[in-house]
Amino acid sequence: MRQQHVPVSAQPNREKQHRMTAAICSIILQGLGQLYNRQWIKGIVLLLLEGAGLAYLLPRLSQAVWGIWTLGENTQRFVKVNGSTVLQKGDHSIFLLLDGIIVLLVFFVFVLVYILNIRDAYMTGLAREQGKPTLGAAATMRNVMDKNFPYLFLSIPALGILFFTIMPILFTVTIAFTNYAAPDHIPPAKLVDWVGFKTFTDLIQLKSWSQTFYGVLTWTVIWAVLATVTTYFGGVLVALLIEQKGIRFKKLWRTIFILPYAIPQIISLLLMRNLFNGQFGPINTYMRAFGLEGLPWLTDPFWAKVTVIVVNMWIGIPVSMVLILGVLTAIPRDLYEAAEVDGASAFQKFKIITMPFILFATTPVLIMQFAGNFNNFNVIFLLTNGNPLRGDYQYAGATDLLVTWLYKLTLDNNRFNMASAVGIIIFLIIATFSIWNFRRSKSFKEEDMIQ
């Protein structure tokens, strides 16, 4: 009987199964696929990592999910034991929430490593199918140090960011959806409950809170705009005056105007606080000496706002001046020469050449300055502490910004849920404003214009 010929290409090739077999092994047990691919050290290390991860997660994961879901069920209370009254510990809602977030982040890292382990086993199996040699321990280390060193090096700070930056942010966000506030919901004596968006609705709609929120928000926006505009254009003006032709001792002028920036801000602000003291401050003392009536610089709502803006100009203009001086030196001189040939005036040269170059180079910094002034904690806190007080505000004064109000809500009054809601609102405002304006700026659209 004639035997039928089977093409070589149609014959089953067991070598084609390396990638799938390795991947399936890694799905079953982390590191098993690497052992199948004869990567012994890598496989053992991954097995140990899985063992350590399971040893941490198995006794904690269900408790973490329960803690986040319920925020505890039993309160701290006194009970009778053998005729004696003892304190029985209850569930601490905030600890349960914090521990739950940490455990879930560890679980996220564990799953990520597990997925990467499967991919690594699959790719190594694919390399074996293509006839490439399997990398041994030494070759793997060389590959890691040469090609994958950036990933290895960046993974360490990435873990730090995950647990020291993202974790606190998640914790703060979740607090905003609870009723964690004094005096009725402070653990362990009391439990904390999930309340959804009630904190946000109270902040916006409840009169006792909404009046404070809208008042502080309005002043925060006004302050951010005025503080940014005055310091930026003040810096532009000073830089242009210094760079004018015929100005002598330019280095001396630069040194003089940079001194307020060189002095630590906390010293300048505390000094200004004493200078503007309404009763004993030198400014009012000199005004009275000349027959003028002293002004309530820090005790009247209007004059307190004027004072913080003026002091911020004193601190902020030197920063803008240094920035603008650097931009002015980069503008090509031949543009001005061509403008002079065309008969352009000084104002026209400023409008057509100088200001467009300045704005193009400094728009991202200008956006950052606005965001920084929106959250300018130091100037307000050190100069006025948010005062003078207002009786119709909840825990806030006339010069309080959202960020200083948040500080008072948290550390002075234990209104943690309201403070978390304010923090989320600050983030949404700043992120939206910064991204929208940056994407509309010429610095973003025409980043290759100046080379």
The answer to whether residue 306 scores a pLDDT higher than 90 is yes
pLDDT per position as a tens digit, 379-412: 999 999 999 998 889 999 999 999 999 999 999 8
In this prediction, residue 87 has a pLDDT band, given cuts at 50, 70 and 90, of low
Q: What is the pLDDT of residue 445?
A: 59
Percent of the chain with pLDDT over 90: 46
How far, in Å, CA of 392 to CA of 414, rounded?
Answer: 19
Provide the pLDDT for residue 442. Answer: 67
- pLDDT for the residue 405: 96
Range with lowest mean pLDDT among 212-216, 230-234, 276-280: 276-280
Q: Is the predicted pLDDT of residue 16 greater than 60, yes or no?
A: no
What pLDDT sits at residue 83?
66
The pLDDT value given to residue 110 = 95
Q: Assess whether pLDDT exceeds 70 at residue 132.
A: yes
**What's the CA gap between 202 and 391, in Å, rounded?**
19
Among candidate residues 97, 104, 89, 101, the one with its CA nearest the CA of residue 194 = 97
Query: Whole-model pTM above 0.95?
Result: no
Length of the chain measured in residues: 451
Give me the pLDDT at residue 210, please: 92
Structural domain spans, the chain: 18-177, 199-448
Q: Is the pLDDT of residue 199 over 90?
A: yes
pLDDT of 5: 47
Look up the CATH architecture of domain 199-448. Answer: Orthogonal Bundle (1.10)
Q: Is the pLDDT of residue 60 over 80?
A: yes
- Decide if 383 contacts 273 (C-beta within 8 A): yes
Q: So what's the pLDDT on residue 121?
A: 87
Amino acid 1: pLDDT: 41
Q: Is the pLDDT of residue 236 over 70?
A: yes
Alpha helix positions (H), 31-73: 32-36, 40-57, 61-70
Average pLDDT over residues 332-349: 86
Query: Secondary structure of the chain: what % helix, strand, coil (to 5)?
Result: 70, 5, 25
Mean pLDDT, rounded, for 296-302: 93
Q: What are phi and psi of 417, to 5 degrees?
A: -65, -40
Compute the mean pLDDT over every residue in the chain, rounded to the nearest whole number: 86
